[in-house]
Amino acid sequence: MVGDLMDSTSTNLTLPESLEQVRITTLPPAAYYISDFIAQDEEDAILEKIASAPKPRWKQLTHRRLQTWPSDLVNNKLMDVPLPAWLNDPIVPRLKSIPLSKTLDSSDIFSFSPHQKPNHVLINEYPPGIGIMPHKDGAAYHPVVCTVSLGASLCLNIYKSKDDGSLDPKPAWRILQEPRSLLITTSDLYTEFLHGIEDITEDVELSRGTIANWELLRSPDDFADGCNIRKTRTSLTYRDVMKVSKIGGKLGLFQKK
């Protein structure tokens, strides 16, 4: 498990002194996993805010639903409107508080992005048996993805393309995301590989040899039988949209927070 940890200033959580301490070493550089990034009461509060969002905030897909904050992208641009407080605090300051390494001064995971912090959050709700097809996130975002998982665990699959450009249907790696955890993917994992979630009700064959972040899990003993029965899992995906429309700054004055 992770050593040399520091206490979070606002909770009883312990956070790594640098992201390098929680790098998933079995994956291509660079991905990081923090099993306890938010506390139980913070998770409960965020889930309550998500559930109480106005109905128009939800976009209903065939088998699942999602919210986008502060707005959808239009032509790969985001309106210049801040995130609501409940999506900013405590997650964004906490992301910014963890340096990349002990040797890079105070540089954090967003220090080199256009706005030096995430400005967009996608909220996805995954009922048991529902996933998402392998995909890439696209060119609208700086190549850093920070995903906070809420409510339940599931496996994220990472896929390679074959030499002929077609997708290899067998995952190259699997990452087990626990509730209240943070997964960060960057660099080649963002630009060169696809990620997806299988449409299954149970993750199986979970072990040290099959799960890339096994050594960083909060409770690997919970999966000692190699199985995870899925429950409804909600994800918060934080990214920095590179192009921002300043028109949104005026519109934001009239948006209900």
Counting residues of the chain whose pLDDT is more than 70, the rounded percentage is 91
Round to whole Å and give the CA distance between 166 and 195: 14
Q: What is the DSSP letter of 211?
A: -
What's the pTM value of the predicted model, to 2 decimals?
Answer: 0.90
Is 11 part of any domain?
Answer: no
Is 54 part of any domain?
Answer: yes
Following CA atoms 229, 212, 182, 109 in sequence, which dihedral angle do they give, to the nearest 10 degrees?
A: -160
φ, ψ of residue 99 to 5 degrees: the values are: -70, 155
Higher pLDDT, 175 or 191: 175
Provide the domain limits for residue 73: 17-254
Which CATH number goes with the domain that contains 166?
2.60.120.590
Binned at pLDDT 50, 70 and 90, residue 6 comes out as very low
Higher pLDDT, 248 or 89: 89
Round to whole Å and give the CA distance between 42 and 147: 15
Is 165 part of any domain?
Answer: yes
Round to whole Å and give the CA distance between 257 and 70: 10
Contact indicator for 108, 96 with CB cutoff of 8 Å = yes
